[in-house]
Amino acid sequence: MDSPECFSAAHFQKYLSGVLESQHSRSSRPSAYHRKKVRLLVVLQGYTDVIDVVQALQTHPDVDVKASFAIGAVTTCVEPLSSYMEH
């Protein structure tokens, strides 16, 4: 992410590729990682639309990266002092 306020799908996709590459290089049995999904916790600062993160994963140009990661849960936090709700 280029700045805390701006989510970059391209940067996130490069990050996912790097994570997968490091997992492959650390493994003595690379075939084990082709069968197993990699668990990853992504924490983003500032406001980020969840759909942008989901689409960045689902539209990753590398098929191996798409197949290695799955979205298990999406959680969001709201800072009450910087939010308002209209009635």
pLDDT tens-place string over residues 23-67? 877 766 655 545 567 788 888 877 788 899 999 999 999 999 888
pLDDT given at position 79:
76
- Provide the residue range defining the domain that includes 64: 9-68
Query: Is 62 a domain residue?
Result: yes
Per the confidence metrics, is the pTM higher than 0.85?
A: no
Query: Is 50 a domain residue?
Result: yes
Tokens for 72, please give them: 């298990």
Residue 6's φ and ψ, nearest 5 degrees, are: -130, 120
C-alpha distances out from residue 20 to 5, 8, 45, 48, Å? 26, 19, 23, 23
Q: Is the pLDDT assigned to residue 3 strictly greater than 60?
A: no
pLDDT given at position 60:
95
Query: Is 76 a domain residue?
Result: no
pLDDT given at position 32:
54
Query: Is 86 a domain residue?
Result: no
Q: Is the pLDDT assigned to residue 19 strictly greater than 80?
A: yes
Our count of domains for the chain comes to: 1
